[in-house]
Chains A and B, each alone.
Chain A
């Protein structure tokens, strides 16, 4: 007979000394790992619960301004520097790592309407209620020198916004019309306008750098081409847009923050339908900024909250609010896509984490592996009702919560009316308009 018994040599399975690592032989045969799906489900449930436990996004606040913060600007080369302009004309430069103000400038008399940094990071521009555009050095004044702007331009009308070109020495201001300026000249290279009302903000496209977008008070968003010095096309919405922001990864996508509590993501090649309507705020949306990844953006609203939206979804992923934070006027996503800064009415700039339960700092390889595994598990089981309920659960302040309920009732009533109208009229006589197209009035070329 031929016989062989299974016999293992313990030397191959037990470590030699206490200083060695333990030996862990692996066999990935599915019969040795029963109940894969229920165990993964329990792990996903635990991961979701822990995510909520560790969701502590608030990092700190920058205190110092003596009036509401009106605008924020990021330093293009330094992650730790941020500039802010207040409603009393003061501009402050902050160091985020130390959470301290490193420089204060009394820039304007009246509001600082807009602030933008030059692409090289050596200087920045501000516009204010005193009809001036001023250029300042990024480094502070030397010993014995006074705080003086590098360059001052006096205009005839109030300028309401400013943005600098991403590559060339050109900047654009808006007020009664959109002006394109060369840095060396004191008069605009060209002025573009379409319509009769004032323009509230202007933004350059970071990828197709000759394109500009602006929002006007007569409810339209106009796109301009700097090379031809003409407006390209415009889209008229139901209500006024406060500001737009271009997607830093997709050249033709921009998001508009509108007064009708929504944000609209447009593809500039087809302005007749927005790509997505983002609805979650309960009051006017005042500012929007994209993450450097181009996959999410953050919006600041009059309803004292800041929301993070994914680009392809219509509902927000996260909402940040504090009892002390009043109407949020401006918001920025830092260039390393980890933090969010928001400036509000009550003179504070707050710093938040973009992913509320993320562990900051350097992670060991095991931590990274565990984090990736948990992320994948949460994605796999995200539609199961228990897990969905835990992941979506968030505490909202009473004012926002009651507003949501009220607006839901109003929307239901309007929807019921439309459905009844559709049901009880001759088929084909009442047209069904999708939610996306409802808010667009017209597109003009």
Chain B
């Protein structure tokens, strides 16, 4: 018998019989309790329990985000991926057992305030190696100092206002170079490793080797006040008195972007280590967020009543601390609503702020440094009581926490001080990212790999995971184009056609009855959906009414 292909509207293809069966997530089989030769049984059978927060740390899928409607094949693949991620996050959480070091801590005995504990007391109570990390360099001759630690935390570079520049391995106290650049030094930064140094001098930006040899003089960056280095993009961001924010790619040697911030002199700058966005503080109390890809700021946040004097962002990019001329110190939430989470009035405005790897906040006010700590690693520092304080021999001009050591470096009028701050640093570093104990060979290998995976500057935006998201705009654009091209929508639901049946069940009346049944069912579904959406709309309407009634309410839809 011949069966010609049926005419009629193309029915969307049913589940293909030849598709591989849907992969079910692997189920864990309960193993029988192991019996040993002695007959003893394991008192804690089964795999070790895993703390939920640790497993949550390793999950990257944001389940609250709704994806556009997809085909069943895609949906089943997504389910499999989510199940795999659960399994893998538990395994990764188990691997935390292998981490060798514990973070430091400082606790006062009953009623004792940790802020009253002096550095000298800590030095006495601690082991000799840690005690050696506290030192004071008295350098009164060459002006107030700014300092910077290298990304691994082994090397320290400092520059004085009157031109004194030095780099040393501060753990072994071995001096690498000491020069006088014969010009005012405004800021100093290590580039991607301890081999290169950027110094913002009075007129131009200079790049030095760690032996003190001048390598480059970049005349396009003139009158630079602040420097920041973005390590994964190999970008050096400079803020200048002329009001320009310039991005210099140090691997290629090109200026990627020179953005006019249109806010006058720029001298408050910090970087967000989570998404490589530069935060600039302005004299009208706003902080603006910049990316080299855009000529306008990504966002502007109104922080203070007076000018902003210092900005700092924590290592996870969740909190931003700002201090202003109105003597306020505020902490903002960066990953959600940009709203202030906490504020504190200081007797004296804080001119310098720094976050440590574990979320401790240091503020330099005059010649006093205050450090605030939070509950755990993830919570913001609570500004009620400071964790530690220290008075220095001169006014603070620079603050930087050492990356993998419990040490805060302070540059001031009288030189450099290295303060002990127990619990500031991340105890377990990753050997392949930044390893303070790396050899020359390891450094070279790391540098080559880092250059190969240098992220292009155009990818800097507020959400660094933007590339992994579903591109909904392109998806919808493609759908529209396909409908135009084909003349009909291939994914649209075909109108119901009742199957022809035998034994008189295919008469016109019964066909009509079957069609009506399906139509009524669809209508009922639609009504149910619209009923579900109505209370949501009512909720939205109710919200503005709760606020105080104003004359403009009549214009609210």
Query: A residues touching B (Cβ–Cβ < 8 Å)?
Result: 1-8, 10, 12-14, 22-39, 41-43, 46, 250, 253, 267, 270, 272-273, 275, 384, 415, 418-419, 422-423, 428, 431-434, 437, 440, 442-445
| CB pair A440 B5 closer than 8 Å | yes
Contact of A35 among B1, B99, B232, B428 (CB under 8 A): B232
> Which residues of B are found within 8 Å of A437, using beta-carbon distances?
5
| CB pair B101 A6 closer than 8 Å | yes
Complex Cα gap A42–B99 (Å) = 29
A3-B422 in contact given A32-B433, A39-B453, A42-B456 (Cβ < 8 Å): yes
| CB pair B114 A1 closer than 8 Å | yes
| CB pair B432 A24 closer than 8 Å | yes
State whether the Cβ of B109 lies closer than 8 Å to any Cβ in chain A.
yes
State whether the Cβ of B135 lies closer than 8 Å to any Cβ in chain A.
no
| CB pair B100 A6 closer than 8 Å | no
Contact of A422 among B16, B102, B487 (CB under 8 A): B487
State whether the Cβ of B435 lies closer than 8 Å to any Cβ in chain A.
yes
A27-B99 in contact given A1-B109, A22-B442, A432-B488 (Cβ < 8 Å): yes
| CB pair B60 A30 closer than 8 Å | yes
A1-B428 in contact given A12-B100, A37-B467, A419-B486 (Cβ < 8 Å): no
| CB pair B92 A28 closer than 8 Å | yes
- Give 3 nearest A-B pairs by CB, closest first: A24-B431, A419-B487, A5-B130
Interface centre among A38, A250, A384, A437 (most CB of B within 10 A): A38
A75 to chain B, nearest CB (A): 31
| CB pair B103 A6 closer than 8 Å | yes
Complex Cα gap A38–B104 (Å) = 33
| CB pair A253 B439 closer than 8 Å | no
B18 to chain A, nearest CB (A): 6
| CB pair A6 B422 closer than 8 Å | yes
Please name 16 further chain A to chain B contacts, defined as beta carbons within 8 Å, in addition to the given A6-B101, A33-B433, sorted by A numbering: A1-B114, A3-B106, A4-B104, A32-B426, A32-B433, A34-B273, A35-B455, A37-B467, A38-B455, A39-B455, A41-B459, A43-B452, A270-B17, A272-B3, A273-B5, A437-B5
State whether the Cβ of B9 lies closer than 8 Å to any Cβ in chain A.
yes
A26-B464 in contact given A267-B17, A267-B18, A432-B9 (Cβ < 8 Å): no
> Which residues of B are found within 8 Å of A34, using beta-carbon distances?
232, 273-274, 464
**Minimum CB distance partner of A418 in chain B:** B487
A6-B104 in contact given A34-B273, A422-B488 (Cβ < 8 Å): yes
0 or 1 for each of B397-424: is its CB under 8 Å from A? (1 = yes): 0000000011000000000000010110
> Which residues of B are found within 8 Å of A33, using beta-carbon distances?
430, 433
A376 to chain B, nearest CB (A): 13
Contact of B18 among A6, A275, A423 (CB under 8 A): A275
State whether the Cβ of B117 lies closer than 8 Å to any Cβ in chain A.
yes
> Which residues of A are found within 8 Å of B429, using beta-carbon distances?
25, 27, 32
**Minimum CB distance partner of B487 in chain A:** A419
Complex Cα gap A40–B153 (Å) = 26
0 or 1 for each of B425-452: is its CB under 8 Å from A? (1 = yes): 1111111110111010110000000001
| CB pair A42 B107 closer than 8 Å | no
Contact of A27 among B18, B315, B423, B428 (CB under 8 A): B428
**Minimum CB distance partner of B484 in chain A:** A419
> Which residues of B are found within 8 Å of A2, using beta-carbon distances?
105-107, 109
A209 to chain B, nearest CB (A): 21
> Which residues of A are found within 8 Å of B99, using beta-carbon distances?
27
B371 to chain A, nearest CB (A): 14
> Which residues of A are found within 8 Å of B531, using beta-carbon distances?
none
Complex Cα gap A348–B452 (Å) = 43
B259 to chain A, nearest CB (A): 21
B237 to chain A, nearest CB (A): 16
> Which residues of B are found within 8 Å of A267, using beta-carbon distances?
17-18
Complex Cα gap A442–B17 (Å) = 21
Complex Cα gap A422–B423 (Å) = 73
State whether the Cβ of B504 lies closer than 8 Å to any Cβ in chain A.
no
User: What are 26 A-B interface contacts by the 8 Å CB criterion?
Assistant: A1-B108, A1-B114, A2-B105, A3-B105, A4-B104, A5-B133, A5-B420, A6-B103, A8-B101, A13-B437, A25-B431, A31-B315, A35-B276, A35-B464, A37-B464, A43-B452, A267-B17, A270-B17, A272-B5, A419-B487, A422-B487, A431-B8, A432-B9, A433-B7, A440-B5, A443-B2
A26-B106 in contact given A1-B121, A5-B406, A39-B455 (Cβ < 8 Å): no
**Minimum CB distance partner of A431 in chain B:** B7
Complex Cα gap A27–B429 (Å) = 6
> Which residues of A are found within 8 Å of B7, using beta-carbon distances?
431, 433
> Which residues of A are found within 8 Å of B406, using beta-carbon distances?
5-6
A417 to chain B, nearest CB (A): 11
| CB pair A25 B467 closer than 8 Å | no
| CB pair A431 B129 closer than 8 Å | no
**Minimum CB distance partner of B490 in chain A:** A434
| CB pair A431 B121 closer than 8 Å | no
> Which residues of A are found within 8 Å of B405, using beta-carbon distances?
6
> Which residues of A are found within 8 Å of B430, using beta-carbon distances?
25-29, 32-33
> Which residues of A are found within 8 Å of B422, using beta-carbon distances?
3-6
Complex Cα gap A44–B96 (Å) = 28
Contact of A442 among B4, B129, B133, B428 (CB under 8 A): B4
Complex Cα gap A371–B219 (Å) = 44
> Which residues of A are found within 8 Å of B3, using beta-carbon distances?
272, 442-443
**Minimum CB distance partner of B461 in chain A:** A38
Interface centre among A41, A43, A422 (most CB of B within 10 A): A41
> Which residues of A are found within 8 Å of B18, using beta-carbon distances?
250, 253, 267, 275
B170 to chain A, nearest CB (A): 15
A51 to chain B, nearest CB (A): 15
Contact of B437 among A7, A14, A422, A431 (CB under 8 A): A14
State whether the Cβ of B57 lies closer than 8 Å to any Cβ in chain A.
yes
B312 to chain A, nearest CB (A): 17
State whether the Cβ of B95 lies closer than 8 Å to any Cβ in chain A.
yes
State whether the Cβ of B112 lies closer than 8 Å to any Cβ in chain A.
yes
State whether the Cβ of B10 lies closer than 8 Å to any Cβ in chain A.
yes
State whether the Cβ of B454 lies closer than 8 Å to any Cβ in chain A.
yes
> Which residues of A are found within 8 Å of B432, using beta-carbon distances?
24, 26
| CB pair A29 B487 closer than 8 Å | no
A384-B105 in contact given A27-B428, A43-B453 (Cβ < 8 Å): no
**Minimum CB distance partner of A35 in chain B:** B232
> Which residues of A are found within 8 Å of B487, using beta-carbon distances?
418-419, 422-423
Complex Cα gap A14–B440 (Å) = 12
State whether the Cβ of B208 lies closer than 8 Å to any Cβ in chain A.
no
> Which residues of A are found within 8 Å of B459, using beta-carbon distances?
38, 41
| CB pair B10 A10 closer than 8 Å | no
> Which residues of B are found within 8 Å of A13, using beta-carbon distances?
436-437
State whether the Cβ of B316 lies closer than 8 Å to any Cβ in chain A.
yes
**Minimum CB distance partner of B439 in chain A:** A22
- Cβ < 8 Å to A, chain B residues 83-128: 92, 95, 98-109, 112, 114, 117, 121-122, 125-127
**Minimum CB distance partner of A423 in chain B:** B487
- Cβ < 8 Å to A, chain B residues 112-167: 112, 114, 117, 121-122, 125-127, 129-130, 133
| CB pair B435 A46 closer than 8 Å | no
Contact of B435 among A5, A24, A431, A443 (CB under 8 A): A24
Interface centre among B58, B122, B429, B441 (most CB of A within 10 A): B429
Complex Cα gap A433–B433 (Å) = 57
Complex Cα gap A35–B450 (Å) = 12
B447 to chain A, nearest CB (A): 15
> Which residues of A are found within 8 Å of B10, using beta-carbon distances?
432-434
Complex Cα gap A291–B243 (Å) = 64
| CB pair B101 A38 closer than 8 Å | no
**Minimum CB distance partner of A275 in chain B:** B18
> Which residues of B are found within 8 Å of A43, using beta-carbon distances?
452-453
A161 to chain B, nearest CB (A): 28
State whether the Cβ of B465 lies closer than 8 Å to any Cβ in chain A.
yes
A1-B112 in contact given A32-B430, A37-B467 (Cβ < 8 Å): yes
State whether the Cβ of B468 lies closer than 8 Å to any Cβ in chain A.
yes
> Which residues of A are found within 8 Å of B129, using beta-carbon distances?
7
| CB pair A42 B2 closer than 8 Å | no
